[in-house]
Amino acid sequence: MNSTGDQNSDVAAEAMKSLKKQALFACIATATITLSAFAALKMADAVREQTKRDMVAIDLAKYRPASVPRGRARFMETCASCHGSNGAGMPKQGANLRFSTFIADHQPGELAAFIRNGRTPNDPQTVMQLPMPPRGGNGNLDEQQLIDIAAYLRELQKQAQDELQADAQSNATR
Ligand code: HEC
């Protein structure tokens, strides 16, 4: 009798231990998840803050001659793999840039700063919940090249609008 009772209480003690372990584990897991979510948000903040500072710095440089053809060449090398050669975006790779309101709403200097720093998936402005790598992953792009690419992005949007209108007109006359 006594030994069964002891066994039972042993079992109970073991069960208690394992419950405590589980609870502790759950606590640690929750804390880890909370911390990493917090760290990711801090990251997004840091990138956005840097972009804001760069916007001021690069805005002055935008008076340097920007070149659309040069920007287009750099775009084809660095950006087209994710954004498509016409900027329409590749599924799960990169956003559509042809009708991006973000591009429409920003000056070339601001766009150059954006391209320099990229965007993390936690950024409130995220459009795909995917990372946009700084400089599109090409660390060799210098300031002038970033400005050239930004000038090309604005041109790309004009072209996209023109094509849209041409399509609408040919549909109307059909
Ligand atoms: C590895 C893939 C990849 C490459 C290379 C890349 N991008 Fe992106 N880009 C993305 C993704 C993904 C997003 C969307 C991020 C998000 O979820 O908000 C994005 C977003 C953008 C946006 C913001 C669009 C919007 O409407 O908010 C611009 C502008 C942009 N990219 C320009 C460029 C340029 C210019 C280059 C080349 C220098 C480039 N990207 C290279 C993946 C890429």
The reported pLDDT for the residue numbered 16 is: 75
Q: In 3-state terms, what secondary structure has residue 119?
A: strand
What is the rounded CA–CA span in Å between residue 143 and residue 5?
78
The pLDDT tens digits along the chain (174 residues) read: 455 556 677 877 787 787 788 887 787 888 888 777 788 888 888 888 888 877 766 655 555 677 899 999 999 999 999 999 999 999 999 999 999 999 999 988 889 999 999 999 999 999 999 999 999 999 999 988 999 999 999 999 999 999 989 989 888 887
Provide the mean pLDDT of the chain: 87
Q: In 3-state terms, what secondary structure has residue 132?
A: strand
Q: Kindly report the number of other CB atoms within 10 A of residue 91's CB atom.
A: 7
Label residue 118 left, alpha or beta by phi (over 0 means left) and psi (-120 to 50 means alpha): left
Answer yes or no: is the C-beta of 149 below 6 A from any ligand 1 atom: yes
What is the rounded CA–CA span in Å between residue 101 and residue 106?
9
Domains and CATH numbers, the chain: 45-173 (1.10.760.10)
Q: Do residues 89 and 97 touch, judged by C-beta distance below 8 A?
A: yes
Helix (H) / strand (E) element for 18: namely: helix 2-61
DSSP string, 36-60: HHHHHHHHHHHHHHHHHHHHHHHHH
Answer yes or no: is the C-beta of 100 below 6 A from any ligand 1 atom: yes
For ligand 1, pick from 74, 83, 110, 129 the residue to mutate: most ligand atoms within 8 Å of CB: 83
